[in-house]
Copies of this chain bind each other. A is one copy, B any other.
Amino acid sequence: MTYGEPTDHTYARAGLGASFRRGARPAIVVVDLSNGFTDPEHPLGADLTDVVSATAALVEAGRPAGVPVVYTTVAYTPADLGSVVWLQKAPGLAALPAGSPAIEIDARLPRTDADHVVTKKGASAFFGTGLAALLAGLRVDTVLVCGATTSGCVRATVVDALQSGFPVLVPRECVGDRAGGPHEASLFDIQAKYGDVVDLTEAIEYLKGL
């Protein structure tokens, strides 16, 4: 097919890219900032130092208001290796064995016993997990999504958070990827269709104003 019109005109005509009403009870979902993704020496990893720092700042900004925090991690058991279909397409994910240091949440992030940890086997933090029920049970009305990778598990989580009934904010500095092209392309799609991509300062102000 050919595209006869600039993309911004097309999207405006389609009625995309509006903004959400932000609620009074947000939660922060930190996607896959485990060592396997944040250690550049790990095959799946990248240098996500800035993303980890920005996410830590966001989490701390929400503490005074008691904003719930959910950390996710991907982990596979020996039994998973023969049954999880994603491992056929992305065999590198087998480098995230359950119980190994690779699946532990990066220790630079502020984590307490009151924070939730969701272990998952797919891209979305919602798929095959209790996350939607957890957020509903906490009476959450807005979800801030951080983590890695922007074009992978972050994007899939953003789509599912929205589909699950929650307005979504993505603080730009809090998400990262292995490569620049997919990162930017997914931020564009998210802003157009699924979540409000905002600056970290705006997100922190929102949390501090609760």
Stoichiometry, copies per complex: 4
Which residue on chain B has the smallest CB distance to residue A138? B83
Q: A87-123 toward B: CB 8 Å interface, digit per residue (1/0)? A: 0111111110000000000000000011111001111
Is A163's CB under 8 angstroms from B122's CB?
yes
A126-140 CB contacts (< 8 Å) to partner B:
127-139
A10 at the interface (CB under 8 A from B): yes
Query: When the two chains form the complex, which single residue of B15, B124, B131 contacts A92, counting CB atoms closer than 8 Å?
Result: B15
Contact residues on A (Cβ < 8 Å of other chain), bracket: 35 or more
Q: A145-184 toward B: CB 8 Å interface, digit per residue (1/0)? A: 0000001100010011011111100000000101111100
- How many angstroms between the C-alpha atoms of A20 and B86 in the bound complex? 9
Query: When the two chains form the complex, which single residue of B131, B139, B163, B181 contacts A127, counting CB atoms closer than 8 Å?
Result: B163
Is A1's CB under 8 angstroms from B50's CB?
yes
- How many angstroms between the C-alpha atoms of A209 and B151 in the bound complex? 35
Name A's B-contacting residues (CB within 8 A).
1, 3, 7, 10-11, 13-21, 23, 43-44, 46-51, 68, 77-80, 82-86, 88-95, 113-117, 120-124, 127-139, 141, 151-152, 156, 159-160, 162-167, 176, 178-182, 185-186, 188-189, 192-196
